[in-house]
Amino acid sequence: MAADLVLSLNAGSSSLKISLYQRDPTSAALPVALLLTSSITSISAPPAKFSFHLASDHHKAVDVPIDSIKDHNTAFSHFLEALRSQASINEGRIVYICHRVVHGGDYLEPVEINEESYEHIEKLSDLAPSLSVIKACISALPSAKSVAYFDTSFHRSIPSHISSYAINQEIAKKRGLKKYGFHGLSFCLNLSSSDRDTLQPPGSLNLILLHLGSGASACAVKDGKSLDTTMGLTPLNGLPGATRSGAIDPSLIFHYTNKAGRITHDPSMAAHVGVTMAEDILNRKAGWKAITGTTDFESRPGSEGPEPFRLAFDLFLDRVLHYIGAYHLKLDGEIDALVFAGGIGERGVQFRSVIGKKVECLGYPPVREDKNNTASEDHAAVVDISTVGQEIKGRTKRILVCKTDEQIEMARECVLDDRFWNAT
């Protein structure tokens, strides 16, 4: 009998990442086998770039410009055409489709998408690209069941005194105004990868996780559970990103938008900007794009680039170090590993090196520069870039680089979830 297949989709604001896996329930460590990957990027800046790559093909995936891809729906349709051209893959064997959904609200675990759960996700996500892809999947593959995996679920263990804001609690509870946290799928994968590399059971691991990319956040993990994270009610809080400001003085936006503001006496600087645009400004027109003019953090590395790039590098470094220090205290200094993930975390050689030198005062071992320089080229899921550290309070601190793959994390969770398979 042919094996069941699981399709994982990760829809970003201008991208769609897709992976197809074969279920292998006999392997507890990795219960899925990769069959193919597909990537559609630059959807909002045509021509979109499309790649389709079988795992059995040892050649490198090639991006092909496709003018007909205008949105996430046409991106998924183009993927389906490529999938159906593969005689070796029977789309009828796709049992589950896993969707990464950023905000889960009160959902604490993955949920099968039906009319009720879709309406709940729609209220939280508004015009998120995942919604259009979910609709497209249900229409194109009606025999497969769609399941939502929420970035917020990993942070359900955060204590109330950390997740609460110092505002009227009656209003906060009524409106759901609290810290939710995001990047949960990435952090969950980092946790499971770290326990294999440190040979520690996941329930005892203390980690500082750094997901550093165009969206960036940090997370303190105590005994295998999220204790605190930098993002809050929305992904805007905490670390700056490609177009996000990160944490700022909340009153800044009133000065930014007020012609009589104290920050500038030039009314043209704030002309035609309304307070209602504040969230859009801080989410889409800030970050290192506002400082350097580009969303590519690594295009001109900090110490080598002109002043705007040095400012972006130093500012990002300062904010990351701020949270490393804070989380070090929250974890009582008892930490197994500092973990880098995300695009910058995986490829930012200089950034990791500078942070490595800074955290030596906290008991971390020096970074091995040979390992650091080649970490992104290493095919291992986890690369230890630290020298042998000294054991402190029964823990030996390490500095790790983890490959981020939210698609495989969703597929892994799906295959191991008895709720889904006992019903099929």
CATH of the domain at 400: 3.30.420.40
- Asked whether residue 205 falls in the same domain as residue 146, the answer is no
Domain membership of residue 419 (yes or no) is: no
Instruction: Please give the C-alpha separations between residue 142 and each of 97, 135, 137, in angstroms, as whole numbers.
Output: 11, 10, 7
Quick one: pLDDT band at residue 254, thresholds 50, 70, 90? confident
- Asked whether residue 126 falls in the same domain as residue 210, the answer is no
- Asked whether residue 355 falls in the same domain as residue 274, the answer is yes
Q: How many domains does the chain have?
A: 2
Domain membership of residue 182 (yes or no) is: no
Strand order, beta sheet including 5-11: 64-66, 48-54, 32-41, 16-23, 5-11, 94-101, 145-150, 111-112
Domain membership of residue 170 (yes or no) is: no
| Mean pLDDT score across all residues of the chain | 89
Q: Annotated binding site for Mg(2+), which residues?
A: 10, 406
Domain membership of residue 173 (yes or no) is: no
Three-state SS at 46: coil
Three-state SS at 379: coil
- Asked whether residue 53 falls in the same domain as residue 144, the answer is yes
- Asked whether residue 130 falls in the same domain as residue 225, the answer is no
DSSP 59-119: SPP--EEETT--SHHHHHHHHHHHHHT-TT--GGGEEEEEEEES--TT--S-EE--HHHHH
Domain membership of residue 104 (yes or no) is: yes
Domain membership of residue 179 (yes or no) is: no
- Asked whether residue 42 falls in the same domain as residue 117, the answer is yes
In which domain, by residue range, is 213 found?
A: 199-406
- Asked whether residue 95 falls in the same domain as residue 214, the answer is no
- Asked whether residue 279 falls in the same domain as residue 354, the answer is yes
State residue 267's pLDDT score: 52
- Asked whether residue 365 falls in the same domain as residue 246, the answer is yes
DSSP class of residue 375 equals: G
- Selected catalytic residue, list 151, 228, 336, 405: 151
Q: Annotated binding site for ATP, which residues?
A: 17, 211-215
- Residue 296 and residue 276: Cα distance in Å, rounded? 28
Angle at 154 between CA 224 and CA 402, to 5 degrees: 65
Nearest Cα to 189, choosing from 24, 53, 11, 8? 8
- Cα pseudo-dihedral 8, 10, 15, 18, rounded to 10: -10
pLDDT one-digit tens code per residue, 208-219: 999 999 899 999
- Asked whether residue 59 falls in the same domain as residue 117, the answer is yes
| pTM > 0.85 | yes
State residue 27's pLDDT score: 73
Place of tokens 């998924």: 76
Domain membership of residue 61 (yes or no) is: yes
Place of tokens 């794009």: 289
For the ranges 29-43, 266-280, 381-395, the lowest mean pLDDT is seen at 266-280
Query: Residue 90 carries which side chain, given as an amino acid letter?
Result: N
- Asked whether residue 208 falls in the same domain as residue 335, the answer is yes
Q: Mark whether 63 is an active-site residue.
A: no
Report the share of the chain in percent with pLDDT over 70: 92
- Asked whether residue 245 falls in the same domain as residue 97, the answer is no
State residue 265's pLDDT score: 47
Nearest Cα to 337, choosing from 175, 165, 221? 221
Q: Annotated binding site for substrate, which residues?
A: 100
